[in-house]
Chains A and B, each alone.
Chain A
Amino acid sequence: MAKVSVTVNGKVRTADVEPRTLLVHFLRETLNLTGTHVGCDTSQCGACTVLVDGRSAKSCTMFAVQADGSSVTTIEGLAKDGQLHPLQEGFWEEHGLQCGYCTPGMIMSAANLLSDTPKPTETQIREGISGNFCRCTGYQHIVNAIQFAAGKR
């Protein structure tokens, strides 16, 4: 077993895990933060995207031990003081989700995109979320949702 200490959504979390434990399973199983989802096993779909030290990362492609000492933000940590994050607001306003399974990862990727490119063009948005699959929406309302959030900044 290996000891990991990760700051998750602002709180330090320490646990003993198998060294092979994926970060996503550490979040979901050890910390019960089930908002982060698993949609594939080859790092394509992006459902598991979280922010590690402010940068988007596919948490199915990292071991928990690799996140030791890092700061991780998951979908559960995005709203502040009961106030939805502009991206969460955008997804709600613009019908940016249907089944909701890809949504947490999609929002975290979009957060990374907007921190790099606060006023993205539509093409930049579509490229920026190309590491995230959505099977329900055809992406158009997701693009609108990210534009909504960009407009609020």
Chain B
Amino acid sequence: MATSPVLPKLVGSRVKRREDPRLIQGKGTYVDDVKIVGMQHLAFKRSDVAHGRIVSIDTTAAEAMEGVEAVFTGKQIAEFVKPMPIGTPFPSPEHRVVAVDVVRFAGEPVAVVVAKDRYLARDAADAITVQYDTLPAVVDPEAALAGKPTVIHEKFANNVAIGPIPGGTGVAPDGSKVDDSAIDAAFKNAEIVISQRMMNQRLAPSAMEPRGVVAHYEAGKGTMTIWSSTQNPHILRTFIAMMNGMGENEVRAIAPEVGGGFGAKINIYAEEYVVAGLSKRLEMPLKWIEDRSEAFVATIHGRDILGYVDLAAKRDGTVLGLKLRLIADIGAYNMLLTAAIPTLTMLMANATYAFPAIRVTLTEVFTNKTPTDAYRGAGRPEATYFVERAMDMLAKELEMDPADLRRKNFIPKDQFPFQTHMGAVYDSGDYEKALDKALETANWAQMKKDRDKARAEGRLVGLGLSMYVEVCGIGPSASLPTGGWEHAQVTIERDGRITAMTGASPHGQGNETTFAQMLADQFSVPFEHITILHGDTGVVKQGIGTFGSRSQAVGGAALHMAGGKVKSKMAKFAAALLEAHEDDLVFENGRISVKGAPAKGKSFAEVASYAYIPVPLPPGLEPGLSDEAFFEPSNNTYPFGCHISMLEIDRQTGEPTLLRLVAVDDAGNLINPLIVEGQIHGGLAQGIGQAMIEEVVYNEDGQLLTGSFMDYAMPRAIDFPRFELEKTVTPTPVNPLGAKGCGEAGTLGSTPSIVSAAVDALSEFGVKHIDMMLRPEKLWRIIQGGQA
């Protein structure tokens, strides 16, 4: 008998990523690296006014340029490309892929150029002249709700896209009945009420790879291949097919290496429809690559929700009720999931607390700005921010330790699954454990002493603490218009190698590694013998995609199930070969053998080979070893945690410095803790970025003032301290892995904890709340005794 090396158990260990060798050597293929013979390049002429009627477009100079293949105005494009579809069931105004009569945000496309190279395409786009009859720009969301200065979409009076939608205690699930008695009683019985207007400002997702599309319509075959920097090639395929009057089986969508997404590459964009539509019309391969300046106006923005928060409590810290009035500034149009994102803020308003009553109302409003959609956290950081900042204000008002106030109001750990006022059922949780772990990791008591000592020296140092719970592992299908499942297929090849296909198309999450770890353990075969394929609808039969921290919790679970099916069939072949019962077999170290009799066994490859040349074919079995699974979870997952910040503000300049950031996150069971740490770090960086330096700013004309990295502050390495991470593990019962998802967690607690730390640092000036971001000038004015 050949002795096999003992294979290490990989699930739960810090396995180095198998994606990295190609990426660290410049050998990855991103969409801009795709070249096709005969390929032409697109450039968009974009509106330079925020709101205006198109009077005329002159394309003659552009068309006359040598090497320009074609120029199309919005009107011409509209003849063969349908209006933009959306992915939510909400009412939506007509949205042309290229503006026809009216432009509604600066950066909206008005014409398209096709030329032989990208420099020329850009020159030609610049040579197009457009005359506008400029209309007043709607910029302020609250003024917009009064129809001021104008109405953007005729059919949407007062610019109201949706709402006000009520939710919470006493509201029927369909919103038809609203009973205010519980929430009114809460405020009537209150001994203290905290009220604050809070802005959760607009952000630019800013994946380092801007978007890009290559489309190749092959007229002879009647097929379309589209490469796009997307998080969800299967959803892209569905929409490209629909928009081009093609079958889904005639379109192949490929997400090559994707250089970051952060939610912004879920949406299917006008540029994708235009490039595909023009490739079909012109019968030539076409490429469009977004510039960064374009990305700032043409890629969706995130957040931008205004919250009016009221918290009713007793003086002992018992919260009686929460009121939250939300106004979401969604920009000029509905995109794929735009309208749904702020509903997640509603859903998560219950936070980690057993509040007796909650009332949330949500209004979404159109403005002349770039549309919003999902950005890392997508609605949940906003909910966390409003509730946690209010809790912090209450703690300050009551002179209570912010940790004690949270503890007093937590949903107790024996209450899970917990039905919230907002319609969610929290799967599992132990919030006190996460809080305790964070207090211990930070050494909270010492931290307070350090703060007080610094203050005694005249320094402005503050502490902030925030709990969070988020909704992840998005499924079941009722919670997602695209379907809330994921797909996987596992094939044991004839030589015993394993090929797996997953619909969870990654963009930096390392699924090739984590999924191979899982299969290596499931079959007890070498990690190197496993290949994970993804991101190509021509290879992966079905899928939804990677967003909402779902790739492990839903995609991983599908893979595990598909693996289980194949494994049980393989056991049947092995049983026939070994003349044993399949239930008596063990898969161990690349061999399948009889339990307790390791000599009676065959190598994994021998059994695989037998399954493909099955002489004799065991009764009741088909040849081959390949199976698939669609996994739909019974519920979302609800990861949680606690983040603690320590921040110092320079008394002279107002400049804030983050001194410490402690993050305790509970994402359930972890497959690869190294990768999870990376995910948490990245989320923290974006959460800290929002609190401290990032903000999309428009002027009163609707012009974007933060339209490049010169004006939009992207966090740099020097902006961060070394993060201090710890975890608790509370598995979810809704999938077989017990994994909850970790992609967005970092953006949840960090942001409010930092703002609370800033307020704490400036407490000697009597400040109660500071709107993000923490611009030094703003802090300096508070120090000088002025207004924030």
- A interface residues (Cβ-Cβ under 8 A, vs B): 18, 20-21, 28, 33-42, 44-45, 47, 74-76, 78-79, 84, 88, 91-93, 95, 97-104, 107, 122-123, 125-127, 129-130, 132-143
Contact = CB atoms under 8 A, between A and B. Distances in A.
B155 interface: no
Q: Which 3 residue pairs of A and B lie closest in terms of their CB atoms, listed nearest first?
A: A35-B26, A101-B259, A100-B23
B494 to A, nearest CB: 30
A91 B685 contact: no
Contacts, number: 179
B260 A99 contact: yes
20 contacts: A38-B32, A41-B292, A42-B293, A75-B25, A88-B25, A95-B674, A98-B508, A98-B510, A99-B260, A100-B19, A100-B23, A100-B259, A101-B30, A101-B209, A130-B717, A133-B709, A133-B716, A135-B682, A136-B682, A138-B681
Interface in B561-620: none
Contact of A139 (B119, B208, B720): B720
Nearest to A22: B119
Contacts of A103: 23-24
A85 to B, nearest CB: 9
A95 B675 contact: yes
A35 B33 CA distance: 9
Given A34-B29, A140-B723, 5 more contacts: A35-B25, A39-B292, A41-B708, A104-B24, A134-B208
Given A98-B678, A101-B209, A40 B708 contact: yes
Contacts of B714: 44-45, 133, 135
Contact of A75 (B26, B507, B685, B709): B26
Given A34-B33, A138-B685, A143-B717, A40 B26 contact: no
B710 interface: yes
Nearest to B294: A41
Contacts of A138: 681-685, 720, 723, 746
B24 A107 contact: yes
A143 B716 CA distance: 12
A109 B678 CA distance: 21
A127 B27 CA distance: 28
B681 A92 contact: no
A130 B718 contact: yes
A139 B717 contact: yes
Given A76-B25, A133-B709, A95 B17 contact: yes
A135 B508 CA distance: 11
Nearest to A75: B26
From A44, A88, A130, A140, name the one whose CB has the most chain B CB atoms within 10 angstroms.
A140
A62 to B, nearest CB: 16
B24 A91 contact: yes
B5 interface: no
A28 B259 CA distance: 17
From B28, B674, B677, B720, name the one whose CB has the most chain A CB atoms within 10 angstroms.
B28
A108 B352 CA distance: 45
Contact of A100 (B28, B292, B718, B722): B28
B119 to A, nearest CB: 7
A142 B717 contact: yes
Nearest to B680: A138
Contacts of B331: none
Contacts of A101: 30, 207-209, 257, 259-260
A138 B675 CA distance: 13
A102 B717 contact: no
From B291, B679, B681, B710, name the one whose CB has the most chain A CB atoms within 10 angstroms.
B681
A74 B292 CA distance: 22
A1 to B, nearest CB: 13
Given A126-B718, A140-B720, A39 B210 contact: yes
B20 interface: yes
Contacts of A35: 25-28
B16 interface: yes
A139 B685 contact: yes
B717 A91 contact: no
A23 B674 CA distance: 36
Given A88-B25, A95-B675, A135-B208, A41 B293 contact: yes
Interface string B65-80: 0000000000000000
A79 B25 contact: yes
B25 A18 contact: no
B678 A137 contact: yes
From A40, A47, A142, name the one whose CB has the most chain B CB atoms within 10 angstroms.
A40
B206 interface: yes
B549 interface: no
A42 B24 contact: no
Nearest to B33: A34
A88 B21 CA distance: 8
B258 interface: yes
B509 interface: yes
A140 B33 CA distance: 29
Interface in B204-223: 206-210
B515 interface: no
B717 A40 contact: no
Given A42-B709, A45-B292, A126 B717 contact: yes
Given A137-B682, A139-B685, A20 B119 contact: yes
A28 to B, nearest CB: 8
A97 B18 CA distance: 12
Given A99-B208, A99-B209, A99-B259, A141 B28 contact: no
A119 B708 CA distance: 34
Contact of B26 (A42, A74, A122, A134): A74
A72 B250 CA distance: 44
B298 to A, nearest CB: 13
A126 B720 CA distance: 9
Interface string B487-512: 00000000000000000000111100
A99 B512 CA distance: 12
A117 to B, nearest CB: 15
Contact of A140 (B23, B718, B722): B722
Contact of A95 (B292, B677, B710): B677
A107 to B, nearest CB: 7
Contacts of A100: 19-20, 23-24, 28, 257, 259, 508
Given A37-B30, A76-B26, A99 B292 contact: no
B262 interface: yes
Nearest to A99: B508
Contacts of A38: 32
From B30, B206, B208, B683, name the one whose CB has the most chain A CB atoms within 10 angstroms.
B208
A45 B709 contact: yes
A100 B20 CA distance: 8
From B260, B674, B710, B723, name the one whose CB has the most chain A CB atoms within 10 angstroms.
B260
B208 A133 contact: yes
A90 B331 CA distance: 43
Contact of A40 (B30, B257, B292, B720): B292
B754 to A, nearest CB: 14
